[in-house]
Structure 1
Amino acid sequence: MEAEEQQPWMTDFYSELPKVELHAHLNGSISSNTMKKLIPKKPNPDINNQMTVIDKGKKRTLEECFQMFQIIHQLTTGPDDILMVTKDVIKEFADDGIEYLELRSIPRRESATGMTKKTYVESILEGIKQSKQENLDIDVR
């Protein structure tokens, strides 16, 4: 049988399996939907809108992948951005059937917004806390 013929039942089967994600980077897990929510909040982002859309099935070069991190850093400059991103990432993992998530990030500071490494980490922890309060079926560490 060809893969195309097997795909519908296999897709359902895999979608329903409980999953774990043991090494998810926060900035590498931000969806295009979340990026689109962040863009209007920034006064003059130096962003090519085409770079912010990652359509499923589209391929990008390694260089384009690294450019995405520059864009993400432009969009996540304050504690509120980090909080929103954290909550969105956790919700999206939960929606994909992930029941255990090990989320990681490198704290950074943004002098323009006053975000410190400490407030960066506190925002992530608050996002995890708020996600738990929303009773998502996911354990985040």
Structure 2
Amino acid sequence: MEPVALDEIAGAAWRTVESPSASLNAETDQTVRCDPTRLQQLLENLYRNAVEHGGAEIAVTVGEVADGFYVEDNGLGIPEDKREEVFEPGYSTATDGTGFGLRIVKQVAEAHGWTVRVTESDAGGARFEVTGVEFADH
């Protein structure tokens, strides 16, 4: 575990996603105590999920909540009755999806002692909130 600037790791994770028309906005200046490799993996999986299900021109935002951070998009969102199911191994609505991306997100969060939940973004897309995060400046 080490201190990591959330906006910097958010940008590094974004550079691994292949979608030149999509955009990322990191609205945070928090420093998170984490395993940087695993946090980057968590973010990459959330970004890929957004692009795969929301389209090439999706807008993704990383921001702060009181005890953590969120990743949200302006895509189609996740129906309320499917929000817990998306973390189950093998669950995917994509024809070529493995169903492990969001499961890995949950596993990385839990390994850090964090909680992850799905809700709806202000734009109607998916919003993943990661809470229980330890900030380096707290």
TM bin, normalised by shorter chain, reads under 0.3
Q: Which has the higher contact order (CA 8 A, sep 6+)?
A: 1
When normalised by structure 1's length, the TM-score is: 0.27
Greater helix proportion: 1
When normalised by structure 2's length, the TM-score is: 0.28
